[in-house]
Chain A
Amino acid sequence: MLQAPTPTGHPLSDTVAQFVWLLPLLPLLGFVLNGALSLKAAAKIGPSDPSANGHDHGDAHSDGAGAAVHHTEADHDDSHISHDDHPVVRHRYAGLVSLIGPGVLVLAFGLAVAIFTAMRSVDMAQPFVDTLFRWMPVSDMRIDVALQLDPLSMVMVLVITGIGALIHIFSVGYMQDDPGYPRYFAYLNLFVFFMLLLVLGANYPVMFVGWEGVGLCSYLLIGFWFSDKANADAGKKAFIVNRIGDFGFLIAMFLLFANTGALDFAGIAANIDKLPAGGAVVTAICLFFFLGCTGKSAQIPLYIWLPDAMAGPTPVSALIHAATMVTAGVYLIARSSLLFSMAPVASLTVALVGGLTALFAATIGLKQWDIKKVLAYSTVSQLGYMFVGVGVGAYTAGVFHLVTHAFFKALLFLGSGSIIFAMHRAYHAAHNHSDDAQDMRNMGGLKKYMPVTWVLMWVATLAIAGIPVFSGFVSKDAILGAVFERAQGSTLASSALLGIPGSTILYIVYAFGLAAALLTAIYMTRMMLYTFHGPNRTGAGAEASLREAPWIMTGPLVVLGVLSAVGGWLNLPEFLPLGPQGVFDKWLEPVVGDATTRIAAGGGALAPSTEQALIGTAVAIAIAGIAIAVVRLKPAALVPKKNSPEATGFAKVLEHKYYVDEAYDKAIVQPVVNGSKYILWKGVDVGIIDGLFVNGAALFARAAGWMGSQLQSGQIGTYAWVLVLGVIALLGAFARVH
């Protein structure tokens, strides 16, 4: 496997790090094995084989949470009604798959930890690049399939394999009765493979392969229950919206290669002088990269696919659409920090868009009733925070929020998965197939039945709301502090975006951040109050069957709960002297240190009094948010979904997500569809291609043939005339020659 020699002299080259290629290979192996098991079962179609039946077929249907998500989109799903008492049929290879699927992730995590340990003991000033093989050697372009280990990719690898392993284990319980059990784990393993390729790639093309691959797996998993058209449509929407962003990524790569002649990270760093700092080229490159980020990481204007992506199984939402894939954009900017630090205008754009998204998505989250939709908009909002962080050049803060967000958001999603699992089981036992198991109006009072989930979800809620010493507080505060610091003096503050001074923009972003923090506290508390507190609204029959999920699901929740609570210890700020400080900052120093210094040039650290005031404001706002929600919201007054009145006024606008989907449909989708239909199809295809070229050619041949056939009239007289005229013409021609 190791054809090219690893760079000699790197302190990591003789350690366990030389097995870095095993990291992506393990999940790939899992994909191959699980995929083979899935195909093997599917090849023998018979009534006894659960995988032979589509998800909607009642006779071998699961009663697991899989079907619960089925009820997401609307109450139109009535295919389960006549099949209440069927026995649960597990997939015939379920045992083997349960071993392989999470097993490869646990092994990969173990390897990652080993490499991490090795890395801690050596000097990581230079990245460790392991070139596996030549990929595209074309003239002066050399693209290798190479993996790069440095502190940044190590952080991502630990998050992906660690959180990934927990979510895989959770899935064993959540998906246990799904007929597509091996297929699910095959896709999930494949996703982890591509995600590791994305973060380990030593150049942009390899990263792009991972980038596209995770998009593919996202599509496959959103549409996992594809027999329901709404789910398949959600998958397509995610895929198509992401294509728009990927176009930006590609253009950025082309520009990079055209201007620096390199596409690997080391080569770009070496040729960075070819790009004038602050110039149009580097700004364009960064903005195109950011277009890619808005797609993959669900920022305005391309965030619309993420809420729809909740059509997939809940662990998928936790892994792909909260913890890892959607943070790829943040990783991309942190990885390209050198470029972004040279383009203040692009960085300001990133921060502004991030701030806008954080606030915008948080307002929508206020009025969603589907528990997963609340978390989806919360994710969009938190991703906005991360972009604010990397936008203002606080790369460590942005990546740190990525890590803590992975902890608490994975916990929230898995917790909601537990709830949905329990709700669906209860509805199933009560033979209730009409109520939505994901609607918070149908829940209420669940803390009595699911105490473990209740406690852990509150931990995550406090973390995301920014209550001190929980992980989210530390990371969110680091971002907001950095915004304020940059606003007071930095290359960003002294540049301008669209004529507005950078410092003004940064103060606006800070205000957005604070407002979003308030709303975050409100909507998260609202979610907790409506699900766990107040009276139970599931109905008498179902209430009796509500119970906590099995240990294989609560186990990962406990681990994530601990991480959400103490994750802040990874990067304690100076004002929290509870342990070693700034560990994470020091760890990422070799990767983003130069860029951070460059972007912060001209400013100083905040005065301690200012910093304390900022922290005080942030904490006060978080507590105020929770207090507002507790005081204003009355869980006892809620009625189940089927009896709920329509929202009115601004609440209705929020519930309908500002009608952005409708606006996009009118402004973009319909014109494209109509343009395709009436211009491209009926005009160009039917008219020009079919009419002019295909039928036109036939018509021309027929006309020419008809004209030729008219010559052959059978009239000897005509023939004679032609003959004589021909002779005269020939004679004339010869006469002229002589």
Chain B
Amino acid sequence: MIAEALTLSAVLFAIGVIGVLTRRNAIIVFMCVELMLNAVNLSFVALSKLYGATGQVFVIFVMTVAAAEAAVGLAIIISIFRHQESVNLKDINLLRG
């Protein structure tokens, strides 16, 4: 049962990574990051069956941080959209040296 859960977690994580790498829309990239977080959560929950409740507690923390991150991240994306009228990552290169 754990093996299947971990496999699903790995598949979800991989989908998240590929989404981050290939997609250009900031919202979708952001959702892929959330997907990766939740894939990790899934493996935490699965492994807590073996190693005790610590994993489940950690999931609560991750979800809390993810909620905060979602709030800040979406705010930034909205702010960028207001500034540039685009959420395409190609148009966002403010970090350029």
Contacts and interface: CB of A to CB of B under 8 A. Distances in A.
A724 B94 CA distance: 21
A228 B33 CA distance: 88
Contact of B17 (A709, A715, A724): A724
Contacts of B97: 709, 712, 714
A713 B93 contact: yes
Interface string A701-735: 00000000100111111011100100000000000
B83 interface: no
Nearest to B94: A714
B90 interface: yes
A721 B21 contact: yes
A134 to B, nearest CB: 66
Contacts of B17: 724
**Which secondary structure dominates where chain A touches chain B?**
helix
A714 B21 contact: no
B82 interface: no
A712 B95 CA distance: 8
A719 B94 CA distance: 13
Nearest to A717: B89
A717 B21 contact: yes
Contacts of A724: 17, 21
A714 B24 contact: no
A716 B97 CA distance: 13
A715 B93 contact: yes
A721 B93 CA distance: 15
B96 A714 contact: yes
B2 interface: no
B92 interface: yes
A611 to B, nearest CB: 100
Nearest to B93: A714
Interface in B13-31: 17, 20-21, 24, 29
Contacts of A717: 21, 24, 89-90
A715 B21 contact: no
A624 B24 CA distance: 114
B35 to A, nearest CB: 14
A719 B35 CA distance: 19
A720 B95 contact: no
Contacts of B96: 712-714
Contacts of A709: 97
A720 B21 contact: yes
B20 A714 contact: no
Nearest to A710: B97
Contacts of B24: 717
A715 B96 CA distance: 8
Contacts of A716: 29, 89, 92, 95
A724 B90 CA distance: 19
B7 to A, nearest CB: 17
Contact of B90 (A712, A715, A720, A721): A715
A559 B93 CA distance: 100
Contacts of A719: 95
A717 B29 CA distance: 10
Interface string B66-97: 00000000000000000000000110111111
A715 B24 CA distance: 10
A277 B11 CA distance: 97
Interface in A168-187: none
Contacts of A713: 93, 96
Nearest to A721: B21
A717 B90 CA distance: 8
A113 B29 CA distance: 109
A425 B21 CA distance: 102
A726 to B, nearest CB: 13
A421 B35 CA distance: 111
Interface in A16-32: none
Nearest to A708: B97
A716 B26 CA distance: 10
A621 B24 CA distance: 112
Nearest to B17: A724
A716 B23 CA distance: 11
Interface string A672-684: 0000000000000
Interface of A: 709, 712-717, 719-721, 724
Question: A-B pairs with the 4 shortest C-beta distances?
Answer: A714-B93, A714-B96, A712-B97, A714-B95
15 contacts: A712-B95, A712-B97, A713-B93, A714-B92, A714-B94, A714-B96, A714-B97, A715-B90, A716-B29, A716-B89, A717-B24, A717-B90, A720-B20, A720-B21, A721-B21
Given A715-B93, A716-B92, 4 more contacts: A713-B96, A714-B93, A714-B96, A717-B89
Interface of B: 17, 20-21, 24, 29, 89-90, 92-97
